Amino acid sequence: MQADFWYTKSLEQMSDQEWEALCDGCGKCCLNKLIDEDTDELVHTNVACELLNTHSCACSNYENRFSIVPDCLKITRDKLDDYFWLPSSCAYRLLAEGQSLPSWHPLRTGSKSAMHKAGQSVRGKVVPESKAGAWEDHIITWAS
């Protein structure tokens, strides 16, 4: 993989390996969302998918996630516009909007530690689905 490929390639030009590397592993996309019945507004919760490792912020069964969690979505180039709910810090969204990766992004720093230190991951901020109770009680604004 070419160093700093995100500066020289468009999202469409990236290899699958480069595309996957863009994910910072923050875990925000693994949080459950709700749609307000009155306003149709999408809201985020701090209720995490059961497969999310809340310390590493990675999927605990990435290879089999679609068969275990039928609602799990694969973020792809061709449907990027459909994922309006991606957090504003998401590399896919940032690059699609013509912005650059943040200074804490693992591709820039070489590890996830700067992302965690910057408070950009879900580490320490979420509850698993099995312990959440009513998701309406877990609405947040920090993940959008």
Residue 92's pLDDT is 95
Residue 85's pLDDT is 87
Residue 3's pLDDT is 79
Using a cut of 0.85, tell me whether the model's pTM lies above it.
yes
Residue 13's pLDDT is 95
- Residue by residue, pLDDT tens for the chain (144 residues) are 777 999 999 999 999 999 999 999 999 999 999 998 889 899 999 999 999 999 999 999 999 999 999 999 999 998 888 888 899 999 999 999 999 999 999 999 999 999 999 999 999 999 999 999 999 999 999 888
Q: CA-CA distances (angstroms) from residue 125 to 54, 128, 140?
A: 8, 10, 10
3-state SS assignment for residue 125: coil
